Amino acid sequence: MPRTRSQSAAMRRAREEESVFEISDSDSSSGDDDYVTVWEDKTVTELKSNKRLVLSDEAKTIILKHAAEYGWAAVHLPSVDHLIDLSQQASLPFHLGKRVFKICINKLLNAINNLVTEKMLGPGLLVEPAVVGGRIVNHVTWGTALRNYILRRNFTLAQLSDPNFPKHFDTAALEPDHPRVSRSRLIARVVSVLVSEGALRKREAPANMLTRRVVVSGENEARGHVQEMPRFLQHVQRLFLEARERGVPADVLLRQHYHGLRVRDIIEGRVLEPAPRRRELAFA
C-alpha cells in the first residue's frame, strides 16, 4: 500500500531526528572530553579551558591531613615525593597525559595556598620569619594540638569551625625537613619524575595502575598468592626500613615497586601485581 504524503513526511522527520544523535567513532573520544568528568566534577575540556575549580570538601580534607602528617604548608610546599603521594590520594588523572596533569596539579597547589595557612588554621600553625641561606623566609611549625586534631580518623573540613578546634599554639610537633623549593620548580620536578616512570602516558586505565583486587577469585590463583606472600612481606619490610632511613613515606616506595600499593592495601588484604618494568626487582 503506497504511503500517504503525511506518512512520508513523518518518516523523513524521524530519520532527520535520528541523524542528529548519531555519533561516529571518530567523534567519540572528543565527545568524552566534553561530557565525561575526570577530576573534581570537571571534564577534560573544562580543565583545559581553565574554568574555575573549587575542590570538594573531601579533597580539602585529604590536603589538610597530608599536610599535618608530613609538616608542610603553603609557605613551605611539600617535597616532590610528598606531592606525588598527595596527587594520588586526591585522585589526579595521571592517565590523561602531561598537559591535563599539570593543570590539575596547579589547581591542587592553588587549594594548598588558600587552605594550609595561618589565616585558615589559626595560631596552631606557627609561621614566623627566619633567615635561611642569607635570606628571610617564612618558617612553619605545626603545633601538637592542631596536628593531632586534624589527624583524627573522623576529621572533616567542616570541623575547622568547630568550637573545639585548637585556637592556640602549645608545643612544637613537626616542621618541614625537606629543602624549600619554588612552586614552578616543584611542578617541574614532579612531572619529570612521573614522566621518567612512564606514569603520565595517555592510556585507558589510570596511570598508577590501581587494579586492586581482594584475592578470593580462583582457588589456584589464591594459592599462588599465598605462597608468594612471605617473600612479598619480607620485601615490604625492607621497603619500610628504607623509607625510615630516607625520611620518606613508606607509601612512596610501595608505589614505585607495586603500582600504587599502599600500606592500607596490605592491612586490608589487597594484592597488586608488581610493576612490569620492575618485575625482576619485586622480591629482590
**Domain spans in the chain, listed from the N-terminal domain onward:** 54-196, 213-281
What does DSSP say about strands 172-174 and 213-214: parallel, antiparallel, or unpaired?
Answer: unpaired
Res 271 pLDDT > 60: no
pLDDT at position 129 is 83
Average pLDDT, stretch 37-46?
90
- The C-alpha atoms of residue 138 and residue 155 are separated, in whole angstroms, by 27
Average pLDDT, stretch 246-274?
65
pLDDT in tens, 166-180: 989 999 998 888 888
- The C-alpha atoms of residue 262 and residue 252 are separated, in whole angstroms, by 8
For the packed helices 250-258 and 80-89, what is the interaxial angle rounded to 10 degrees? Answer: 70
Average pLDDT, stretch 177-186?
92
Identify the CA nearest to 282 among candidates 240, 223, 233. Answer: 233
Task: Identify the residue with better confidence: 4 or 206.
Answer: 4
Segment holding 249, helix H or strand E: none
Average pLDDT, stretch 16-26?
38
- The C-alpha atoms of residue 254 and residue 272 are separated, in whole angstroms, by 11
**DSSP category for residue 108:** H
% of the chain surpassing 90 pLDDT: 44
pLDDT at position 216 is 27
Res 242 pLDDT > 60: yes
Task: Identify the residue with better confidence: 8 or 99.
Answer: 99
pLDDT at position 225 is 46
pLDDT at position 107 is 96
Res 23 pLDDT > 70: no
Task: Identify the residue with better confidence: 232 or 204.
Answer: 232
Identify the CA nearest to 122 among candidates 105, 146, 96, 141. Answer: 146
Contact in structure between 104 and 91 (CB atoms under 8 Å): no
pLDDT at position 150 is 96
Average pLDDT, stretch 77-82?
95
Res 22 pLDDT > 50: no
| Average confidence score pLDDT of the chain | 76
3-state helix, strand, coil in the chain (%, to 5): 55, 10, 35
- The C-alpha atoms of residue 172 and residue 234 are separated, in whole angstroms, by 35
Q: Is residue 60 exposed (0-12), middle (13-18) or buried (19+ Cβ within 10 Å)?
A: buried
